[in-house]
Chains A and B, each alone.
Chain A
């Protein structure tokens, strides 16, 4: 959802150069026509203001200008070239989202998710790991919170009292996501990369690398997390600690990302 008070900003690594939009991560650039350069030249302004200026400058009806600008912004955001910064408070955004969701409900759809691109410092493996963990910290925390609530419900329905097991399960579910992406980033040492989130999806966008390295990067994320999970389970089996065994399960489940049913698995198999 994009509101009139929202602002667009070029994503990290994206620049405007001599009438072209260049993406350092993809290593590509695209020519801009007059209206595209006009809109992108007004990055940081509220979109509502940009729409009025487009309508005035190009002698367009306001509705046509709004539709054109929003279509352009959505397209660039979908490609992770621009981020949309909200100009309203979180509560107002939630209210607006709920209103739109209610209007779309009869059609069986939900408001489209915005894409957000965050920079990753891949000058060294450690920096890649650290910046990626920091970049997806909020998402990791959100996934951990949701998983904990769901686990609490399930454990309670199964008649298992206590919060230690559900909390361990939830924390490891969130941590698994963060570590998975962080290991991908660590393996991309020296390659321009960015972390992209869109709706439920989280992925590392990176410059082209040779096929062998691409497979290795794809394998490393799930394999590292699954190895940690397996280690937890092996330790739990040696010294029976149910909490450790339960916590290891969501980490070990990342091994499923090695199959061709997921993007990482398909890349690893060269499909």
Chain B
């Protein structure tokens, strides 16, 4: 249960931060009238495309991939912290 919590909270945290950075970059690019295509390998994170007078911001599956990586990292860190705490509990001087 603790592991699931750590994974979900890490996913949520990194997902929100990744979305925030991507949205800020996209809005800035849109306001400056520039194109943007941010990718994580083959996965699109965010893109700003202009067609005529209209501009579209698209968030891609790269955001989800980043969030999942964040979840896994948080899970790994939680495991390390728990193991350290257990080792300290067994320690006798």
Contacts and interface: CB of A to CB of B under 8 A. Distances in A.
Contacts of A241: 27
A84 interface: no
Interface in A212-251: 219, 226, 229-230, 233-234, 236-237, 240-242, 244-246, 248-249
Interface in B25-75: 26-28, 30-31, 55, 57, 70, 74
Interface stretch (A104-112, A143-151, A173-181, A259-267): A259-267
A245 B24 contact: yes
Nearest to A233: B23
Contact of A259 (B2, B9, B55, B57): B9
B81 A260 contact: yes
30 contacts: A219-B9, A226-B16, A230-B19, A233-B24, A234-B23, A237-B26, A237-B57, A240-B31, A242-B28, A245-B24, A245-B27, A245-B28, A246-B28, A248-B24, A252-B16, A252-B17, A252-B19, A253-B17, A255-B13, A255-B17, A256-B17, A259-B74, A260-B6, A260-B74, A260-B77, A265-B13, A269-B6, A269-B78, A271-B2, A271-B78
B12 A246 contact: no
Nearest to A250: B20
Interface of A: 219, 226, 229-230, 233-234, 236-237, 240-242, 244-246, 248-249, 252-253, 255-261, 265-266, 268-271
Question: Looking at A230, A242, A260, which has the most chain B CB atoms within 10 Å of its CB?
Answer: A260
Contact of A252 (B6, B20, B26, B82): B20
A269 B9 contact: yes
Given A255-B12, A259-B70, A270-B5, 10 more contacts: A230-B16, A233-B27, A236-B23, A240-B27, A248-B23, A248-B24, A249-B20, A252-B20, A258-B13, A271-B78
Top 3 A-B residue pairs of the complex, sorted by shortest distance between their CB atoms:
A252-B20, A255-B16, A245-B27
Interface residue tally on B, bucketed by range? 20 to 34
Q: Classify the interface of chain A: helix, strand, loop or mixed.
A: helix
A202 to B, nearest CB: 20
Nearest to B4: A269
B85 interface: yes
Question: Looking at B12, B14, B55, B57, which has the most chain A CB atoms within 10 Å of its CB?
Answer: B12
Contacts of B16: 226, 229-230, 252, 255
A258 B23 contact: no
Question: Looking at A266, A268, A271, which has the most chain B CB atoms within 10 Å of its CB?
Answer: A271
B21 interface: yes
Contacts of A252: 16-17, 19-20
